[in-house]
Amino acid sequence: MKHLLFLLLSLFPLGQIAAKCANNGLNVFPSGSSIRANSLILLEGYGESQQIIKGLNKEYAVYLISGNEKIKLFVNEINEGSYRVSQALLLPEKALTEEKIYTLVIDNLPSQERLQRYNAKVGDFENINWTVNAADTEKPTIKTKIKESGKSYEVYGCGPTTYVIFDCNALDNGELLCKTTLKNLKTGQVQVYYLPVENGKIQVGHGMCFGAFSFEENTTYKVGFEIMDASINIAKNSRQTLKIIPPKSQSK
């Protein structure tokens, strides 16, 4: 995902704003320090780390620990992006206990992988811990329909960034995801990927180093949206479909 923090081995912040792309990285959602008792966990791998995503609970057991308690995370869904990124939607085998602190663990990670995230307050990486709050059963709300608000195409050191940007006036008391479905109307190819909703925006496309969706120029697409919170409460009236034409490169 473009705006979520990647846990890169030797690169911070995001790869697409640096001079050179890193070879691997892991990213996790929710990105904050708290989690709901009924929350999903979305784990994303960039570059070589995509093999970790595809091998979860095979070569790489994934779970939460809190003291002596160990909670397995089931792989509910895996989505492969079109540009060097894959994600796994994980569900705990049981509800998490309120007020406990859980740590995300993946066994047998290669030495080059870092399952940590950067804490800007202390200026260092730390384990991925969440404090558990009460289960969330309230649906996010959307005041207006999702609509296209702009396009962007920029060329950087390793390649272009290309996005179609949508306004999403969704409200919730936590982080939001958009289950995004993109269909190429020329080939019929369909891709699904969960994107963050950040500052009321959904950005469909890819950055310089990675991203969920690639476009063919002069091709029409159909994009479908489904807005949800981390507890998979789906916003009423959020299932929308729009036709889009991707941005053109500056060279044409």
Provide mean pLDDT across the span 13-26: 60
Give pLDDT, residue 249: 64
The tens digit of pLDDT for each residue in 3-14 reads: 333 443 323 333
Evaluate if residue 16 carries a pLDDT over 70: no
Evaluate if residue 1 carries a pLDDT over 60: no
How many Å apart are CA 172 and CA 190, to the nearest integer? 29
The tens digit of pLDDT for each residue in 133-165 reads: 999 999 999 988 999 999 988 887 777 889 999
Give pLDDT, residue 14: 35
What's the pLDDT band for 17 if we cut at 50, 70, 90?
A: very low
Provide mean pLDDT across the span 60-68: 97
Provide mean pLDDT across the span 16-35: 80
Three-state secondary structure along 178-217? EEEEEEECCCCCEEEEEEEEECCEEEEEECCCCECCCCCC
For residue 146, the SS3 value is: coil
The residue whose two tokens read 């009236």 is 237
Question: Whole-prediction pTM value?
Answer: 0.88
Domains of the chain in start order, with CATH, are: 7-133 (2.60.40), 141-244 (2.60.40.10)
User: For residue 21, what are its two tokens?
Assistant: 């792309």
**Greater confidence, 87 or 209?**
87
Give pLDDT, residue 171: 87
The tens digit of pLDDT for each residue in 182-194 reads: 999 999 999 999 9
